[in-house]
Amino acid sequence: MKKVSFVTIVILFIVFMQTFAQDKIPISASMNESTIIDTLKKVQGGDTFHFPRNAGIIYNDKGRLGGWLMRGKTLPSVYDLMNLDVVQFNDLNSKYDTELKRKVFLESEEGIEMSKRLKALKGQVLKYPFYFVLPLSGYTTNNTAHAEYNLKTKTLDIEFRTNYSYYAGFINFPSLIVKCHPSITQKPFYNIISGHKYNSNIVKIPMTEKVAIKVEDNIKTLNLIVEFKLQQVKGPRLLQGISTKFFIVDKATNEIYFSL
């Protein structure tokens, strides 16, 4: 009797493991990152947003970068990376504080190796999209925006301050200018705050009232996320790119409220 019970237990265990294996998501070593992200989206209903692991993420309200390759760096680090500035990127300015010291270091074995690694990192970073994250609630400061639906133009109007002059032919964000979908427009203007003149902008995103009311009702938890392909750096704190997608996403649940 004991032998029969033991065999029965083993058989039941094997059946259970086979069933469990069939129900698992098949993520093999040969699957690339985008496939894994698509699989995750399907499992969670297709309406949630996930950053690709190696993407560069610019958190406008936090002044830092996210993503596996650039995590912990600041926005000027992208400028240094694109220019392959080994000393600046690795925070070695205080150690190599003259042109001669930098020249000697860069010609050393250590400097040459660090230059190779930085060039390889640049190649890796440029393989993936970048994401610019702008909170939609708060005051119109450098770090946050104010968003409200415009009944006349049928657009979600996102207002914020910028740190630079207006670049024609691009949608202008804080620290980012992008080419994007032609239906997305803007209205740059000067804002007077406490006697000071600031460059400001209103980005207008076409949207139905049905979607917009949900956005307005949950505005305090929402981020605008601009997906873009980095083209070049215009300065230490200004990137230029081509946008491939706009998202409005709940920062707590990752639910996508809108995409274009």
SS (H, E, C) the chain: CHHHHHHHHHHHHHHHHHHHHHHCCCCCCCCCHHHHHHHHHHHCCCCECCCCCCCEEEECCCCEEECCCCCCCCHHHHHHHHCCCHHHHCCCCCCCCCHHHHHHHHHCHHHHHHHHHHHHHHHHHCCCCEEEEEECCCCCCCCCCEEEEECCCCEEEEEEECCCCCCCCCEEECCEEEECCCCCEECCEEEEECCEEEEEEEEEEECCHHHHHHHHHCHHHEEEEEEEEEEEEEECCEEEEEEEEEEEEECCCCEEEEEC
pLDDT at 66: 85
pLDDT at 247: 96
pLDDT at 131: 95
Contact 246, 180 (CB under 8 A): yes
pLDDT at 164: 79
> From CA 174, how far away is CA 253, in angstroms rounded?
25
Q: What is the pLDDT of residues 84-108, one digit of tens each?
A: 999 999 999 999 999 999 999 999 9
pLDDT at 69: 86
Q: Which of 175, 168, 151 is nearest to 226 (CA)?
A: 175
| Ranges of residues in the chain whose predicted pLDDT is under 70 | 1-46, 61-63, 138-144
Q: Does the CA dihedral 172-176-177-179 come out positive or negative?
A: negative
pLDDT at 192: 76
Which residues lie closer than 8 Å to 43 by C-beta, 6 or more apart?
25
